[in-house]
Amino acid sequence: MYYGLDIGGTKIALGVFDGERRLQWQTRVPTPRDDYEAFLEAVCGLVAQADRRFGVHGSVGIGVPGIPETADGTLYAANLPAASGRPLRADLCARLEREVRLDNDATCFALSEAWDDEFRQYPLVMGLILGTGVGGGLVLNGRPVAGRSSVTGEFGHTRLPVDALTLMGFDFPLRRCGCGQLGCIENYLSGGGFAWLWQHDYHQPLQAREIFARWEQGDKKARAHVERYLDLLAVCLGNILTIVGPDLVAIGGGLSNFAPLAAGLSERLPRYLLPAARVPRIERARHGDAGGMRGAAFLHLTD
């Protein structure tokens, strides 16, 4: 059995998958915030429950919101203060007496989509998350591409290209990102960025869901806003696709729930790619909130 744990700032979710990659059981517990020992016990307790329930010692894969293992063997995850700076993988391997694999949660999302029955035909899969932030991951022939520092897929921290400034105006504000840089595309393409663009253009605060509701009602401002957002997304994604050249882009995160997103993006991309380039297949993620658990579990399918 394959155990996948999706660890976030508020909850640790466990999913147990069989050899056919089908979910057999899931549960969750709160994430301890300040006590590393309690954090380890929470993870080990979930694994012990699964072992007893299925009568096996299942494999353990974990997705975390950060860098799973830095050069000194410790976790870096600002949203997991109890475990950040600790040798999480080594400590869990010792306690659970089995190999534990850790990876970034966005990479786990991409891996989950790449191992979908329909999507397994594609050699190079790019996961793109448009949610609280902008992130993702790359999966080549069923295996995640981590890169030297485990930051491959941090698409949100690329900068606005010149085509974006041509589109939006060269006086367009370069916002300061949480990473410290100016002009990271996360500030414009995330759910919060989508709302910021509305306020920037119309001087009225609205959340993304409210703008989409207006779009569905035919509101002209909302329609124009979505068009501008899709143009900006296509500009920024065009550079990334030129570098990566994926066969499939699976889009997740809250903005992916807006159904016209994938179709609108596919229509716009050709003008921002090389003439000989083909637009990859672009689809909404198939597995939603379960993607983190699935991808973490499937870290053990990548041998």
125 is in an annotated binding site: no
63 is in an annotated binding site: no
55 is in an annotated binding site: no
Alpha-carbon Rg of the chain, whole angstroms? 20
Number of H helices, E strands in the chain: 10, 10
9 is in an annotated binding site: yes
Residue 115 three-state SS: coil
274 is in an annotated binding site: no
16 is in an annotated binding site: no
184 is in an annotated binding site: yes
18 is in an annotated binding site: no
169 is in an annotated binding site: no
236 is in an annotated binding site: no
34 is in an annotated binding site: no
192 is in an annotated binding site: no
226 is in an annotated binding site: no
179 is in an annotated binding site: yes
60 is in an annotated binding site: no
Q: Quote the CA–CA distance of 2 and 296 in Å, as a whole number.
A: 9
292 is in an annotated binding site: no
251 is in an annotated binding site: no
Contact between 79 and 31 under an 8 Å Cβ cutoff? The reply is no
134 is in an annotated binding site: yes
Cα distances (Å, whole numbers) of residue 119 to 84, 194, 197: 34, 28, 33
**Angle between helix 36-54 and helix 88-96 axes, rounded to 10 deg:** 40
185 is in an annotated binding site: no
265 is in an annotated binding site: no
Instruction: Lay out the sheet containing 11-17: strands in order across.
Output: 23-30, 11-17, 2-7, 59-64, 100-104
Q: Quote the CA–CA distance of 77 and 85 in Å, as a whole number.
A: 8
Residues in binding site for Zn(2+): 157, 177, 179, 184
Residues in binding site for ATP: 4-11, 133-140
Residues in binding site: 4-11, 133-140, 157, 177, 179, 184
